[in-house]
Amino acid sequence: MGKITFPKDFIWGAATASYQIEGAVNQDGRGESIWDRFSHTPGKVLNGDTGDVACDHYNRYKEDVQLMKELGLKGYRFSVAWPRIYPQGKGQVNQKGLDFYNSLVDELLKAGIEPIVTLYHWDLPQALQDIGGWDNRDVTDYFADYAFKMYDVLGDRVKKWITHNEPWVVAFVGNAFGEHAPGYKDFALAVRITHHLLLSHAKAVQAYRQSGNDDGGQIGITLNLTPVYPDSDSPEDSEAVQFQDGFQNRWFLDPVFKGAYPEDILEFYQEKYNAPVIRPGDMELIADNHIDFLGINYYTRAVVKKGRESGFDSVEHVHPEGKYTEMGWEVYPEGLYDLLMRIHRDYNAPNIYITENGAAFKDDKVVDGIVDDQDRLEYLKSHFEAAYRAIQDGVNLKGYYVWSFMDNFEWAYGYSKRFGIVYVDYETLKRTPKKSALWYRDVIADNGF
Ligand SMILES: OC[C@H]1NNC[C@@H](O)[C@@H]1O
């Protein structure tokens, strides 16, 4: 592909999340989150790593924003730690928590960087988990109250909001697979939680429209979407694709864009798990609170075939020959093009932002002050090219936030996986832009490559 130039005003950014970078978990009145509890539970996180210190961004944010400015970032996606605002999840507000995010937003704006703020990136206040967490329908109201407070405090300067990050991961990885906080292995619980997450999303959108701070503002949701391909063109394999696509993608896309769950998956869940619990008015609330943009987190594709068991959910994942990242995810930029075209075609999505895309590779070592992460540079380049083709074919893609601005706490993998374009030395917390960051700086400056 020759020189490509992205549309004018395309937002080139980078993304992070509170628990993964902030540290300072006991500073300035922050309450405990479910990830504090989970990471301090022996055996849950590799090497016993926790987010206690992480990148100490809470105390180093001015330095980090300065580095973002030097890289020329146009946008920065971060998340607010709910337990910094409401240490008990509701009730008493922690002013020092509000002060931190106010200062961070002011630093970003001074640096000419547009903030896009995620309200929930997995660090639920533990006090709410103690009353059932997302399985307790009341938490959907506490979330809307927390969202309203953030719109009130930051909404004059923050004009792009994301209600939830990856509700599929929150529900299933945290409550069915047991690999994330709070660590349950209960599929019926996970399905019930998906509905409460979507309900809380709708209530937070409604609160935004009522906040009086939504002038010129946009609100959306970020979904981790994985395009699914059949291992063969057999009818059995296409049935496996149908289930996996429904389980992972359509279960959230359909209610958000069409106001109803996909029939095939809903029927399967009701039969097998007697879930979700949908009350009269729920689907209307979800249907009536439209989003202004869809955030897409794309990492890789899935290739599936009919599994050995019987039943709609009998799916076996296949791992084709090819290049894989340190997470065991196939490098497949074509999947990003196909996904964007599908969202455009099947859901007529309004504006789209790639709110996360990036990779962890082994090549992260500082040698003479340089981190030569050629693998990551090539990963990003190939995915930028796929995004560009989708724009050329009509997709309303308005921005791209690389995951991640800097190496950080990669959940159950702890600090063993590095996604950053900036290297973090966890002994000294020194930040070193990697080769990919320096290349990205030029892409941003030229709005292409
Ligand atoms: O696994 C890489 C990223 N995926 N999306 C959510 C983020 O919190 C993860 O670090």
pLDDT digits (tens, 9 = 90+) for 409-442: 999 999 999 999 999 999 999 999 999 999 999 9
Looking at residue 272, what is its pLDDT? 96
| Cα–Cα distance, 32 to 130 (Å, whole number) | 11
Looking at residue 213, what is its pLDDT? 87
Instruction: Please tell me the residue having the least CA distance from ligand 1 atom 9.
Output: 410
Q: In 135-196, where do the E strands start and end?
A: 160-165
pTM above 0.90, yes or no: yes
- The amino acid that residue 43 corresponds to is G
> pLDDT per residue over 157-192, tens digit each?
999 999 999 999 999 999 999 999 999 999 999 999
Give the residue from 18, 14, 147 showing the smallest Cα distance to 77: 14
| Cα–Cα distance, 362 to 20 (Å, whole number) | 20
User: Choosing from 32, 356, 378, 385, which is the catalytic residue?
Assistant: 356
CB 236 within 8 A of CB 305: yes
- Annotation-wise, does 330 bind a ligand? no
Pocket test for ligand 1, best of 356, 376, 401, 418 (most atoms within 8 A of CB): 356
Q: Quick one: pLDDT band at residue 64, thresholds 50, 70, 90?
A: very high
Angle between helices 95-110 and 57-71 (to 10 degrees): 10
- Annotation-wise, does 403 bind a ligand? yes
Give the residue from 176, 306, 334 showing the smallest Cα distance to 251: 176
Region 343-364: mean pLDDT is: 93
Residue 362: pLDDT above 90?
no
Tokens of 271: 């039969």
Instruction: Please tell me the residue having the least CA distance from ligand 1 atom 8.
Output: 17
| Cα–Cα distance, 437 to 364 (Å, whole number) | 13
Measured in degrees and rounded to the nearest 5, phi and psi for residue 20 equal -80, -20
User: Choosing from 22, 114, 166, 326, which is the catalytic residue?
Assistant: 166
What interface predicted TM-score (ipTM) does this complex get?
A: 0.99
Largest CA distance in the chain: 63
**How close is the Cα of 5 to the center of ligand 1, in Å?**
28
Q: Active site includes 356?
A: yes
Q: Active site includes 166?
A: yes
Which residues does ligand 1 sit against, CB inside 6 Å? 17, 20, 166, 297, 356, 403, 410, 419
**How close is the Cα of 271 to the center of ligand 1, in Å?**
32
Region 282-287: mean pLDDT is: 96
| Cα–Cα distance, 16 to 421 (Å, whole number) | 11
pLDDT > 90: percent of the chain: 96
**How close is the Cα of 146 to the center of ligand 1, in Å?**
23
Looking at residue 365, what is its pLDDT? 86
Q: To which residue do tokens 């903030």 refer?
A: 115
| Cα–Cα distance, 395 to 349 (Å, whole number) | 9
Residue 274: pLDDT above 80?
yes
Beta partners for residue 296, in sequence order: 223, 354
Closest ligand 1 atom to the C-alpha of 327? Answer: 1
Helices (H) then strands (E): counts for the chain: 17, 13
| Cα–Cα distance, 123 to 10 (Å, whole number) | 30
Instruction: Please tell me the residue having the least CA distance from ligand 1 atom 10.
Output: 410
Q: List all residues 6 or more positions away from 169 whose beta carbon is below 8 Å from its beta carbon.
A: 122, 180, 224
CB 331 within 8 A of CB 323: yes
| Cα–Cα distance, 380 to 150 (Å, whole number) | 32
Query: Each residue of 207-233: b (16+ CB within 10 Å) or e?
Result: bbeebebbeebbbbbbbbbbbbbbbee
CB 3 within 8 A of CB 390: no
Residue 300: pLDDT above 90?
yes
- Annotation-wise, does 92 bind a ligand? no
**How close is the Cα of 410 to the center of ligand 1, in Å?**
7
Give the residue from 204, 106, 77, 203 showing the smallest Cα distance to 151: 204
Give the residue from 429, 327, 446 showing the smallest Cα distance to 67: 429
**Burial of 35: CB neighbours in 10 Å, binned 0-12, 13-18, 19+:** buried
Give the residue from 77, 98, 87, 69 showing the smallest Cα distance to 21: 77
Residue 214: pLDDT above 90?
no
Instruction: Please tell me the residue having the least CA distance from ligand 1 atom 2.
Output: 410
Give the residue from 332, 280, 278, 323 showing the smallest Cα distance to 302: 332
- Annotation-wise, does 86 bind a ligand? no
Within 10 Å of residue 271's Cβ, how many Cβ atoms? 9
Looking at residue 394, what is its pLDDT? 97
Instruction: Please tell me the residue having the least CA distance from ligand 1 atom 1.
Output: 410
- Annotation-wise, does 249 bind a ligand? no
pLDDT > 70: percent of the chain: 100
Tokens of 393: 């074919």
Closest ligand 1 atom to the C-alpha of 17? Answer: 8
**How close is the Cα of 279 to the center of ligand 1, in Å?**
32
**How close is the Cα of 17 to the center of ligand 1, in Å?**
9
Report the SS3 class of residue 248.
helix
- Please report the domains of the chain, with CATH numbers, ordered by start residue: 11-446 (3.20.20.80)
Residue 350: pLDDT above 90?
no
Q: Write down the mean pLDDT value for the chain.
A: 97
